[in-house]
Amino acid sequence: MPDPTVPPAPSLPGDPPPQALLDALKSHVAIVDRRGVIVGVNQSWRAFAELNGGDPAASGVGSNYLEAAAPHSTMQAGLRAVLDGERSEFELTYPCHAPGEHRWFRVRVTPLRGAGEVTHAFVEHLNVTPEARGREELRRTRLELGTRVADRTAALERRTRDLADRTGALEAFARFTEIAARTTDSRELVRHAAEVLRATLGAVAVGYYEQGAAGWQARHLSPGLPAGVEAYLTGDFPAQLPGEHPGGEAVFREAGGTDPLGATARLPLTLRRPGDALLVMVSLAQGTWPEGARAVFRAVGRSFALALERAEQARHLAEQGARLAELNAELTAYTAGLSRDLRDPARRIAGFAGLLEARLPEGDPTVRRHLGIIRAETERLQALVEDLAQLRPLQERHLNPLPLALAPLVVQVRSDLGHVTRGRRISWTVGTLPTVHADHLLLRQVLTHLLHNALKFTAGRDPARIEVGGEERGDGTLVWVRDNGVGFDPAQVGRLFQVFTRLHGDEYEGSGVGLANVRRIVHRHGGQVWAEGEPGVGAAFFFTLPRPGAPS
């Protein structure tokens, strides 16, 4: 017959029944609800409580296990965390000695869920005394062996300690100098600064502090500090630091009568303004700093300061890059809207100008000339609108870089430009062109712009000479287009690839967008573009494309 004084365990699915399932477990088990109240225990739990003289009111069904665990804060906090869903499991090994026997138990708390929420906790106490005794015996054996080894090697250690310390200090300092030259992570810098200072000076703690609205705050401390030392360096010590550190020189202070630690040293650094950061070193063993220790701290501090300066510069550059990207996006959206808004009015102007010209009498040449000017300028406006419309697709188009043979592509582009070359004498020189890794459609636009440019500015040459070449170079490919056209002033080369820039004014057709598109496309591929020219001699345009995996 079931004991009527024992409430049933919480309902669990499956067969055998829940209480029988709990009683089948050899470990001591209790089920606790969200309030910490025990709602079910197994036979082993009750037997253990009786064997140890436990009070059923304190450990049986209906008692609050959270309150019973109050003297053991770790156990209470772990149980509470599992019941609150903050931990998936809690485990703790603890001593529970009987009058005639030393025993250890391991408690494991796991959540029981219903509808995705924690409703109860499964508390299991398992007797691990043999395991704990084995660990204790192993610990004692290791301790004895360690003592014997330490005794036998003490003499050798004394003879080699000085040499090892000096070697370690030099190696650590070399590592810190190397790391400080290539990293901007203050946490990593503090860790390595602590290593070199400890290797050189012995027992020291190192901290990095920044000044904020609430005063000085410890951002990073050297790892492995005793709890009391870490608490002091994050609590009382920052409150004692002065608000200003003029001069930027290291300040060394001997230990006072009330200082819980030894001598201190601090070096003002510049994060955003002079003196708003500190590198601090605290001795854990001595009250003064010898001159050698001061020199080492100053040297490490200088490297640390340079690394922080680089970090701030990198942060500033990142902010500028983000702002530039934002402005570029705004400009792209603006040009897209502008081209969309101008397209229809330009088309209507051209259409009505054509209608007016068709209805004019034959004998009015002045009006016809004026209408011809309107039509020509409208066509120019339409070309400009179409060029503007290309800017946004070029920026937003997803790159699809694939191996691409340049020679066939140049043949295709020359064929596309046949209407420009008709009736002209042109001497083409196309070298052996390599295969590149690029987006086919975008690179075709690059070559179209450059070859059309060469044809346009050699219109007055007979014959025109145009050269297309390329070669493998370093981590990528160099491609060029050279002509014997009108050239340009080298002093104006910086303006060539700017949007709407036309170095030759209205003398040659164009909108000043083509070379800007060339630059955008090449940059999106991770390459570079530039030009060389001389007035009356010609111009050459170069661009590079990186190999896959090569740094751009």
Give the model's pLDDT for residue 12: 46
Question: Using CA of residue 235, residue 241, residue 247, residue 252, what is the dihedral sign?
Answer: negative
Give the model's pLDDT for residue 415: 92
Candidate from 55-69, 154-168, 372-386, 471-485 with smallest mean pLDDT: 154-168
Q: What distance in Å separates the CA atoms of residue 57 and residue 273, rounded to the nearest whole number?
A: 65
Residue 21, exposed/middle/buried by CB under 10 A (0-12, 13-18, 19+)?
Answer: middle
Q: The tokens of 379 are what?
A: 């066509």
* pLDDT confidence tier of residue 539, bands split at 50, 70 and 90: very high
What is the residue-averaged pLDDT of the chain? 81
* pLDDT confidence tier of residue 414, bands split at 50, 70 and 90: very high
Mean pLDDT of 461-473: 93
Q: pLDDT exceeding 70 applies to what percent of the chain?
A: 80
Of 453 and 151, the structure prediction assigns the larger pLDDT to 453
- Using the predicted structure, report yes or no on whether residue 110 has a pLDDT greater than 50: yes
| Residue the block writes with tokens 């510049």 | 270
The closest alpha carbon to 527, from 484, 487, 488, 475, belongs to 475
Residue 82, exposed/middle/buried by CB under 10 A (0-12, 13-18, 19+)?
Answer: buried
21-134 and 178-319, same CATH topology: yes
| Whether the Cβ atoms of residue 525 and residue 401 lie closer than 8 Å to each other | yes
Domain ranges for the chain: 21-134, 178-319, 402-546
Q: What distance in Å separates the CA atoms of residue 111 and residue 72, rounded to the nearest whole number?
A: 20
- Using the predicted structure, report yes or no on whether residue 355 has a pLDDT greater than 80: no
* pLDDT confidence tier of residue 258, bands split at 50, 70 and 90: low
- Using the predicted structure, report yes or no on whether residue 94 has a pLDDT greater than 90: no
Considering the domain delimited by 402-546, tell me its CATH architecture: 2-Layer Sandwich (3.30)
| Whether the Cβ atoms of residue 280 and residue 250 lie closer than 8 Å to each other | no
Kindly report the CATH class assigned to 21-134.
alpha beta
CATH 3.20.20.330 for the 178-319 domain, yes or no: no
User: Which strand ranges, in their side-by-side order, compose the sheet holding 264-270?
Assistant: 215-221, 204-212, 274-283, 264-270, 251-253
- Using the predicted structure, report yes or no on whether residue 412 has a pLDDT greater than 90: yes
pTM for this prediction: 0.41
| Whether the Cβ atoms of residue 79 and residue 99 lie closer than 8 Å to each other | no
Angle between helices 186-201 and 291-359 (to 10 degrees): 160
Q: pLDDT exceeding 90 applies to what percent of the chain?
A: 24
Mean pLDDT of 393-402: 72
- 154-167: pLDDT as tens digits: 767 766 655 655 55
- 272-310: pLDDT as tens digits: 677 678 888 888 888 888 888 888 888 888 877 887 777
Angle between helices 440-457 and 406-416 (to 10 degrees): 50
- 194-252: pLDDT as tens digits: 788 888 888 888 888 888 877 888 888 888 888 888 888 888 888 777 766 656 788 88
- 43-71: pLDDT as tens digits: 888 888 777 766 766 778 888 988 888 88
Of 14 and 431, the structure prediction assigns the larger pLDDT to 431
15's enclosing H/E stretch is none
Q: What distance in Å separates the CA atoms of residue 311 and residue 9, rounded to the nearest whole number?
A: 61
Mean pLDDT of 495-518: 72
- Using the predicted structure, report yes or no on whether residue 7 has a pLDDT greater than 70: no
How does DSSP assign 100-143, residue by residue?
TB--EEEEEEEEEEETTEEEEEEEEEEE-HHHHHHHHHHHHHHH
Q: What distance in Å separates the CA atoms of residue 469 and residue 407, rounded to the nearest whole number?
A: 10
Q: The tokens of 197 are what?
A: 């200072």
The closest alpha carbon to 380, from 501, 497, 506, belongs to 506
